[in-house]
Structure 1
Amino acid sequence: MTAAGGKAAGSTIRIDRLLVYLRFAPTRSAALRLIETHALRRNRKHVLRGAEQARIGDVLTLVVGGRVRVIELLALPDRRGSPALARTHYREVDGDNLDPKAQMSLAPSPVVADMQGDEPGNPS
């Protein structure tokens, strides 16, 4: 464990549990809904399962309350704590250049975009 109460640098944590511990979701079920609606990316790639692992240094892009937030993980929490304690485990990345409606930062994944281009009557 680190002095800040987080896990060691080589450790990982399930991403659904991390969202709860960092207070971006009240429960793991709510965290899974974020994942299922493609409202979460880890290192620019959509998170597809709650069991995906997050590490210190990962950059998460998520939509919470209609707002895009980009955070970098500084430490992994051991449990859900106060909001002030949760904020010590990450830092906000400058989001000034993001599209406020999240159209550019959270566009459909390439797989979804490719499927839409293959639909009949859809000029590509």
Structure 2
Amino acid sequence: MLNHQCNTSDILVELYNPIVGKKETESTVRRTTTPVQSMKAVEEFKDTMSDLRDILLPELDRVDKMVVLPSKDFIDVVKLIKKTIAKRDHKKVDFDRYTNNVKKLQDKKDKSANDKN
């Protein structure tokens, strides 16, 4: 965003700068020059944006290294933990199902030849 604002300020300075060209004749349209106050404001805006970018970018890089990257790593770890928990839950459901089947077979009084195998 800071780079975008600096680029915008550069474009504004280019837009407000007077156009240098041939002398005007009667057939060409005379363009009005930019008021000094407007040109000064645009140049101040450009200088301010450049200064802000120079000051804030190192701070933002520091925040990125100290906060954003560790939080991304944490999110990756949490995703892995959730995946492991879901896998464990599936295995637990399977184990409970097999345990219930074994218990039913053990509790059955009349066991057939198929049940003994």
Same structural fold, with TM-score higher than 0.5 when normalized by the shorter chain: no
| Higher relative contact order, chain-length normalized (CA < 8 Å, sep 6+) | 2
Question: TM-score band (shorter)?
Answer: under 0.3
TM-score by length of 2: 0.22
TM-score by length of 1: 0.22
Structure (1/2) with the larger helix percentage: 2
Choose 1 or 2 for highest CA Rg.
2
